[in-house]
Structure 1
Amino acid sequence: MTSSAQLPRQFAVLILVILACSFAGNHVAARIAFDHDAGLLVAILFRSGVAMVGLILLVIWRRESLRFKPQAWGWQLVMGLLIAIQSFSIYSAVARIPIALALLVVNLAPIMLALLTWALGGARPSRTASLLMLFILFGLALALDLPSRFSDSGEIDIKFVEGLLFGLTAAAVFACALWITDHRLGNMPGLVRSMLTIMVVFASTAIAGAAGLVPDGMSLPSASMGWVALSSLAILYGAAFSVLFTLVTRLDIARNAPVMNVEPVAGLIFGWLILDQVLGGIQVVGSFIVVSGIVMLAYTKIPDRQLSRPLRESKTVKCRETCMADS
């Protein structure tokens, strides 16, 4: 068993930054694979397959129990299908728009989760949280360069619109998955929940591919670089996933999880260095506004004032595990 002694904060933060960069790198590798004709479903199968094997080994190593209430299995299936849709949507967004922008749009999930929780009878977002949400949306508008796009009298960039809609879908679906995690699967160990989720993602993707539901979804890369990219995305994602859950009890997730929001920044840097995806100055400013707003929101959005601090932190840990693991 892994020791539960927490690592010094500087090491924990460094590890989380490396994990965030690995998750961002998986999206860069995916874009390279798509540029060499790899299908979306093939990329998801590679990614989820390697992660699934790693998580199964961790569950066996830790001797986690798979005995749960019957209703939990139904919610777990729904959870897995939602993450499968989220995986398809975010890869579809990455294939169409710059990676940094796709990740920024997907990072609207915390806002959507807060609004969903409120709509389903939960706590209303505080005034501070509401202002931060508006701050994030303002930054996103700058990052997407919406003012100039709307003022441009030329033709609409259909690929950009599609990428934006896929990113919003990924955020909305992920918000629903986080709600289920917190309200229906909260008693299930995070490692087991993620293993079962990835298993559903892998199985549903394989079924969709066999049924031909996605045109060219199972197409293989047309060049060796595409195969290298597919292997890289699987290794980056699977390794980050496994390291996260191996060390999760030692990383003080309740306190340090917002560090993972550097993923869009890493995507911005990697997209520039590797893919020549250059954003304008206003877009870069908007990107940092979004990231800083999400970090501030993460530190202020615990609304359950009636709960004790240990219970609030436990609730936050469960949500953060899912949020990071399913990036």
Structure 2
Amino acid sequence: MAVSSSTATLFPRKLAVALLALLACAFAGNHIAARIAFDDNTGVLLAILCRSGITFLVLASLLLWQRQPLGLPSGTRRWQLLLGLLIATQSLCLYSAVARIPVALALLVGNTFPMLLALLTWALGGARPSGRTVLFMGLILSGLVLALDVPGHLGASHGANPQWASGVGLAFGAACVFACALWITDHKLASVRGPVRSLLTLLIVFSSMLLAGVSGVMPSGLSLPGSSSGWLALASLVVLYGIAFSLLFVCVPRLNMAQNAPVMNVEPIATLVLGWALLEQQLNTLQLLGGAVVVCGIVLLTYRRP
């Protein structure tokens, strides 16, 4: 950003929390719009291509207006490239999951990345998770078992819901990849300024999706929407994501993320409400209870005392 978090004037706590909750709802709306677009035969690659391309143009304009340098420190280029490819993979996996299973479930699984990041950091020589962390990890896993209705799906007849396993697997893959991306950001790209890292990551995501589309790796990846409702959904996801990402990009130095970041976990809850209202995707009582347990576990896991 133009101002570092150490020198920027922080927003009042209530304003910061309200803004983060609003941004989380915008990200949730982006995923709901994506599901509507996918149901209208929109290609997953096309959705990510439009989303990353428009957001890249917005952020590039902001950086040019602020006249910020775009150079990378020595030795960070390959890590920046890897980060961009990981975020591209995460976007592809998560959107593919959204196209297969209820959107709220896809996000619940995808939002387990803080737990995976703690385990990855430990595996790569970092601090061992504390007893408190292990307890919350167990809470998250228990909640996921209920939210995903694992016993019900395992006991169902073969092929009753062929999309369930692949959707859950893709969402979990998105969480794993995102955890790796965050580890690289913290340990290999700490010297790269946030605005430059964000801009280059979006550029790599856009380029990789374009390459995947024209190469035919995903034959229907660039399929156009089949009706006006699909085009409207595609435009909505681009606008919602672009506004939310850009606002977060501009305001993060003033949001005291170390204390307020757990507020962003309202996204799965907002997705659940929007999915019920707009997509008629409903979860049973045990699934709702499991989802609440997962969200509470993630909030407790990521909360840091001021």
Aligned with residue 71 of structure 2, among 43, 67, 71 = 67
1:287 and 2:269 are equivalent in the alignment: no
SS for the counterpart of 1:70 is coil
SS for the counterpart of 1:205 is helix
Change (3 A) 1:8 1:97: same
1:102 and 2:106 are equivalent in the alignment: yes
1:90 corresponds to: 94
Kept in 1, the 8 Å contact 2:195–2:249? The answer is yes
TM-score, normalised by the number of residues in structure 2: 0.95
SS for the counterpart of 1:4 is coil
CA RMSD of aligned residues (A): 1.5
Aligned with residue 253 of structure 1, among 257, 265, 272 = 257
Q: How does 1:6-85 map to 2 (within 5 A)?
A: 6-85=10-89
1:113 and 2:109 are equivalent in the alignment: no
Q: CA offset at residue 281 of structure 1? A: 0.7
2:210 corresponds to: 206
Question: After superposition, what is the alpha-carbon deviation per residue over 1:206-262, rounded to whole angstroms, capped at 9, x for unaligned?
Answer: 011111111200110010001001100000000001111111111111111110000
Q: CA offset at residue 90 of structure 1? A: 0.3
SS for the counterpart of 2:303 is helix
Comparing 219-228 with 183-192, which one deviates more in the overlay?
Answer: 183-192
Cα distance in 2 between the residues matched to 1:233 and 1:183: 32
Q: CA offset at residue 61 of structure 1? A: 2.6
SS for the counterpart of 1:71 is coil
**Ranges in structure 1 where 5+ consecutive residues have no aligned partner:** 303-312, 314-327
Question: After superposition, what is the alpha-carbon deviation per residue over 1:158-186, rounded to whole angstroms, capped at 9, x for unaligned?
Answer: 20111011101101110110000000001
Cα distance in 1 between the residues matched to 2:199 and 2:159: 45
1:139 corresponds to: 143
1:234 and 2:235 are equivalent in the alignment: no
Aligned with residue 183 of structure 1, among 156, 181, 187 = 187
Kept in 1, the 8 Å contact 2:55–2:245? The answer is yes
Cα distance in 2 between the residues matched to 1:191 and 1:103: 26
Cα distance in 2 between the residues matched to 1:87 and 1:153: 31
1:299 corresponds to: 303
SS for the counterpart of 2:108 is helix
Change (3 A) 1:132 1:15: same
Comparing 52-61 with 240-249, which one deviates more in the overlay?
Answer: 52-61
Q: CA offset at residue 156 of structure 1? A: 4.8
1:159 corresponds to: 163
Cα distance in 2 between the residues matched to 1:28 and 1:129: 31
Q: CA offset at residue 63 of structure 1? A: 2.6
Percentage of pairs with the same residue: 53
Cα distance in 2 between the residues matched to 1:229 and 1:145: 29
Aligned with residue 126 of structure 1, among 118, 130, 133 = 130
The amino acid of 1:194's aligned partner reads S
Question: After superposition, what is the alpha-carbon deviation per residue over 1:117-160, rounded to whole angstroms, capped at 9, x for unaligned?
Answer: 11111111001100100100000110001122223345452201
1:278 corresponds to: 282
Cα distance in 1 between the residues matched to 2:37 and 2:210: 18
**Ranges in structure 2 where 5+ consecutive residues have no aligned partner:** none
Cα distance in 2 between the residues matched to 1:189 and 1:235: 25
Kept in 1, the 8 Å contact 2:98–2:106? The answer is yes
Question: After superposition, what is the alpha-carbon deviation per residue over 1:46-76, rounded to whole angstroms, capped at 9, x for unaligned?
Answer: 1101111111122223332222233211100
1:194 and 2:228 are equivalent in the alignment: no
Q: CA offset at residue 287 of structure 1? A: 0.5
Kept in 1, the 8 Å contact 2:24–2:264? The answer is yes
Alignment length (residue pairs): 302
Q: CA offset at residue 108 of structure 1? A: 1.2
